[in-house]
Chain A
Amino acid sequence: MSQVTMTVNGKAASGEIEGRTLLVDFLRETLNLTGTHVGCDTSQCGACVVHVNGKAIKACTMFAAEAEGAEVKTIEGMANADGSLGTIQQAFQDHHGLQCGFCTPGMVMSAAALLQDNPKPSEAEIRDYLEGNLCRCTGYHNIIKAILAASGQDADAIAAE
């Protein structure tokens, strides 16, 4: 066992880990940040996407030890300062971009990373970017609309084209 220290959602966080402890398990089990989900064991589903030093990463693809000293952001850190839903989160609710909610944290974190790099993505760019995030409930229709809306575009008009 060894000690790891990082910043998670703006707060210092540390804990005991094994060498094989994955970042996602450290977040869920040690820090009790259970908003980050585990939907597969082959790094395919994207339910565990978080931001590490500003970049979207599947938290099952890196060891907790590799995040030593890193800035980590999870779904629990996405709300506005007053606790209300952030822009992307609110767009997901407004456009019914979630059903069971299990893939949702990863979707929101991926969407946030996309919009950071590409503030007005096209429908095709969004679909391409979400290739690593699986959703079984929504058929993606309303997720794409939510991301279009969160980027200030007319989602209804684009979906009707």
Chain B
Amino acid sequence: MPADGGIGASTKRREDVRFLSGTGRYTDDIKLHGEAHAAFARSDVAHGRIVSIDTSLAESMPGVLAVFTGEDFVDVGGNPAGWLIHSRDGEPMKEPKRPVLAHGKVRHVGDAYAAVVAERLEQARDAVEAIEVEIEEVSAVVDMSNAVAGEDLVHDEIGTNVCFDWGWIEDNRAATDAAISAAPHVTTLNLVNNRLVANPMEPRASIADYDAGTGDYTLYTTSQNPHVSRLLICAFVLGVPENKLKVIAPDVGGGFGSKIYHYGEEALVLTAAKKLGRPVRWTCTRSEAFMADAQGRDHVTKIELACEKDGTFIAFRTETNANVGAYLSNFSTVTPTFLHGTLMAGNYAVPNVYVNVKAVFTNTAPVDAYRGAGRPEATYSLERVIDMAARELGIDPIEIRRKNFVKPDQFPFASAAGLEYDTGDYDALMDKLEALADRSGFEARAEASKASGKLRGFGVNSYIEACGIAPSNLVGILGSRVGLYDAATVRVNATGSLSVMVGAHSHGQGHETAFPQVVSEMLGIDPTSIEIVHGDTSKIPFGMGTYGSRSLAVCGSAVVRATEKIIDKAKKIAAHMLEVSDTDIEFKDGQFSVSGTDKSVAFGDVAFKAYVPHGYPVESLEPGLEETAFYDPANFTYPAGAYACEIELDPETGKVTIERFAAVDDFGNVINPMIVDGQVHGGIAQGIGQALLEGCVYDENGQLLSGSYMDYAMPRADDLPFYSVDHSCQTPCTHNPLGVKGCGEAGAIGSPPTVVNAVIDALQRAGHDITHIDMPLSPSRVWSAMQG
């Protein structure tokens, strides 16, 4: 392991010092002179017609500066969907308008229909209580099967609750159907991928400022992608020219997907700041976050696996209803389609795959990408039905997977679900996993559990994901309305330090430490002289931000390309300084030298010459040393892994505890192993949370039953074990300059089926004829299943 802080070193994170000393600067920590406070009036019913809103009493309350309703925003644009999906019949998806504030109808509990701005927060909240609203409640659309068939409509104007009915790949449908009809064995599983709440520990917050003198807006906001937010706000919602809005995402306390999106609260504070001529701030309460943040997952799926009697896979066929909630959030249409359906071949050389997804509007909070985004749903369906098939056929669960793996000599491999996997070695991952998980020691541990009255089970899975999102040309063909490149500017300062401006945004991922490791490695200079600048659209190039495990694979590649340009230009400057041709210059360890001689100049001297260009060939070479690169990936990257867990189940209570958890991942090359381990740990915890604890629940009237940390079971320290993680099996990505694949989502993708497979294994070993229990596997669900 390098000790110099370059690629491969577990460099300690420099950003930790401010976070550990209380000097981090999150949005809610920022105070602007003269700021006013916004608070929102939110629907307490799931579905209703707004008959009247009387704001006169609220307007007369102490400190109130302005009251807004949906009527104030009828002339501005809706918050758009970023991806156009076409149904199987060729029709474009239904796109009802998502307004800044609800107008005409409220469509979910927490749907904001009015906002108050006041001198003080308490005054704004008090005035919200004084808004007199009459809402005529109508039948709520909650259950997806009822929504598809029913007559009650979330959006009356589109005449259906089905946003789209998508087939992938439609041309493979008949062949898949025929293969399943003719197959010797078909395993069928109906399952629910439970709805989750992202729950970054920092609630959303936004502060808007408007400069009447220049007409410039500034928005401080909790965003994973400030340029995307600016684009959405300017081009679609408020119609402000992009050069007049600066979006700053300062320190952000986690995102997990929920801070990708533009939300109406941002447009409200911007509008109010201009109207009032003073800054306006809003910080979400956790209770509001449970009602109004975009949520995750919520699929109801039927999956069929057709195979030979020896376990050779013939076909996967999936029918899914995917809940999109009451409105389309920015990436809610791509998550259940191209981030889900394209992964439905898994790690396997299966010849037939067909996926049908209906996206369904309901009177619940919008659903969008949450850590993994479509890929956990795909992996869960595949890896659960594979386990079930193995059991039905009497084949070991690891052996059935190995039998069907894409083999190393088959790469690049065109999967039956339409992707081209560039590289991988799934047997090597499974070999490593069997050792790391000590599978051979399981039987002895199971005996020990039995002796203490507990059931023990072993669960395993394999996963593949498509990360490094995404090649713009490809996603454009598939319906994306944006490009998915990223960008970096490397600015060498006159005295030799570097400022690197990146489009990616760090909200826990450690970019401020890891990106300098890459640049340091390339330039041979001290990483502490390299500063990463991110999160401010007025300082950074137009990048698409951080999600989909893309920061290093896409933005990191842009950093590499920009640094290569720096080296090219610096060689020209050095050549001039050394009075030779630039083709004679070699660059190594921070020194530019003339081949075959002892003549050299240091990087710092070249930097100084670039900015103090005395005796400089200004006719042929520009002064300065600053380069920008945009990087658009050639393909997705394909991290893959094999996970195992052992659980112990108390038959008296149904309580499941995780006793051992092993994760083996192939992320390609690794820049900072310590950070990668941490990303996997966090993903596993979220996956175990989904499997055992978490579930967002609405009742049949659309009332949110899990609206706080007292009702929504977040994983706590005493719910979780230490994890054994390994990423030494590395097949570097073949198409990006760092050979990296991305590691942010793997844990959340690989762990839910691993846990559920382990619980079913424990029950089967104890003689229970239980083949499936829907997540979360709470004590009551497990115990109830055991009672038959």
Residues of A within 8 A of B (CB): 18, 20, 28, 32-42, 44-45, 47, 74-76, 78-79, 85, 89, 92-94, 96, 98-105, 108, 123-124, 126-128, 130-131, 133-144, 159-161
When distances are taken between beta carbons in the complex, the residues of chain B under 8 Å from A76 are: 21-23
Indicate which residue in B16, B203, B285, B674 contacts A101 across the interface (CB closer than 8 Å). B16
Verify if B252 is at the interface (C-beta below 8 Å from A): yes
Given the complex of chains A and B, what is the CA–CA distance between A98 and B709 in angstroms?
A: 21
Indicate which residue in A32, A37, A137, A143 contacts B26 across the interface (CB closer than 8 Å). A37
Interface centre among A35, A85, A126, A144 (most CB of B within 10 A): A35
Q: Is the CB of A35 within 8 A of B709?
A: no
Q: Is the CB of A101 within 8 A of B251?
A: yes
Interface centre among A96, A101, A103, A133 (most CB of B within 10 A): A101
Provide a sorted-by-A list of 22 A–B residue pairs whose CB atoms are within 8 angstroms. Answer: A34-B25, A42-B287, A42-B709, A79-B21, A93-B20, A96-B678, A99-B682, A100-B19, A101-B15, A101-B251, A101-B253, A102-B253, A104-B19, A127-B720, A136-B199, A137-B508, A139-B683, A139-B723, A140-B715, A140-B716, A141-B678, A141-B723
What's the nearest-Cβ distance from chain A to residue B747, in Å? 8
When distances are taken between beta carbons in the complex, the residues of chain A under 8 Å from B683 are: 139
Q: What is the 8 Å Cβ interface bit string for chain B, positions 214-254, against chain A (1 contact, 0 not)?
A: 00000000000000000000000000000000000001111
Q: Is the CB of B19 within 8 A of A139?
A: no
Verify if B122 is at the interface (C-beta below 8 Å from A): yes
Q: Is the CB of A130 within 8 A of B718?
A: yes
When distances are taken between beta carbons in the complex, the residues of chain A under 8 Å from B674 are: 96
Q: Is the CB of B202 within 8 A of A100?
A: yes
Indicate which residue in B199, B286, B720 contacts A41 across the interface (CB closer than 8 Å). B286
Q: Is the CB of B201 within 8 A of A134?
A: yes
When distances are taken between beta carbons in the complex, the residues of chain A under 8 Å from B283 are: 38
Least CB separation from B708: chain A residue: A42
What's the nearest-Cβ distance from chain A to residue B23, in Å? 7
Q: Is the CB of B201 within 8 A of A45?
A: yes
Q: Is the CB of B717 within 8 A of A133?
A: yes
Least CB separation from B509: chain A residue: A99
What's the nearest-Cβ distance from chain A to residue B101, in Å? 22
Indicate which residue in B710, B718, B720 contacts A139 across the interface (CB closer than 8 Å). B720
When distances are taken between beta carbons in the complex, the residues of chain A under 8 Å from B15 are: 101
Contacting residues of chain B (659-705) with chain A, CB-CB under 8 angstroms: 674-675, 677-678, 681-686
Least CB separation from A47: chain B residue: B201
When distances are taken between beta carbons in the complex, the residues of chain A under 8 Å from B723 are: 139, 141
5 closest A-B pairs by beta carbon, nearest first, are A35-B22, A101-B19, A102-B253, A139-B685, A44-B709
What's the nearest-Cβ distance from chain B to residue A26, in Å? 14
What's the nearest-Cβ distance from chain A to residue B20, in Å? 4
Least CB separation from B19: chain A residue: A101
Verify if B13 is at the interface (C-beta below 8 Å from A): yes
What's the nearest-Cβ distance from chain B to residue A9, in Å? 10
Least CB separation from A90: chain B residue: B20
Q: Is the CB of B678 within 8 A of A100?
A: no
Decide yes or no: A136 and B254 within 8 Å by CB, A75-B21, A142-B678 being known contacts.
yes
When distances are taken between beta carbons in the complex, the residues of chain A under 8 Å from B25 are: 34
Chain B residues within 8 Å of chain A by Cβ, number: 59
Indicate which residue in A37, A47, A130, A140 contacts B685 across the interface (CB closer than 8 Å). A140
Least CB separation from B687: chain A residue: A139
Least CB separation from B22: chain A residue: A35
Verify if B507 is at the interface (C-beta below 8 Å from A): yes
Given the complex of chains A and B, what is the CA–CA distance between A58 and B269 in angstroms?
A: 30
Q: Is the CB of A105 within 8 A of B507?
A: no
Q: Is the CB of B12 within 8 A of A39?
A: no
Given the complex of chains A and B, what is the CA–CA distance between A153 and B406 in angstroms?
A: 44
Q: What is the 8 Å Cβ interface bit string for chain B, positions 721-734, against chain A (1 contact, 0 not)?
A: 01110000000000
Q: Is the CB of B16 within 8 A of A98?
A: yes
Verify if B96 is at the interface (C-beta below 8 Å from A): no
Least CB separation from A29: chain B residue: B31
Decide yes or no: A44 and B710 within 8 Å by CB, A100-B254, A159-B722 being known contacts.
yes
Q: Is the CB of A93 within 8 A of B17?
A: yes
Given the complex of chains A and B, what is the CA–CA distance between A127 and B717 in angstroms?
A: 5
When distances are taken between beta carbons in the complex, the residues of chain B under 8 Å from A96 are: 12-13, 674-675, 677-678
Indicate which residue in A18, A36, A102, A105 contacts B254 across the interface (CB closer than 8 Å). A102
When distances are taken between beta carbons in the complex, the residues of chain B under 8 Å from A20 are: 122
Q: Is the CB of B21 within 8 A of A35?
A: yes
Verify if B496 is at the interface (C-beta below 8 Å from A): no
Given the complex of chains A and B, what is the CA–CA distance between A30 and B319 in angstroms?
A: 56
Q: Is the CB of A99 within 8 A of B709?
A: no
Least CB separation from A140: chain B residue: B717
Q: Is the CB of A130 within 8 A of B201?
A: no
Contacting residues of chain B (1-50) with chain A, CB-CB under 8 angstroms: 12-13, 15-26, 28-29, 31
What's the nearest-Cβ distance from chain A to residue B445, in Å? 14
What's the nearest-Cβ distance from chain A to residue B251, in Å? 7
When distances are taken between beta carbons in the complex, the residues of chain B under 8 Å from A161 are: 722
Given the complex of chains A and B, what is the CA–CA distance between A46 and B63 in angstroms?
A: 32
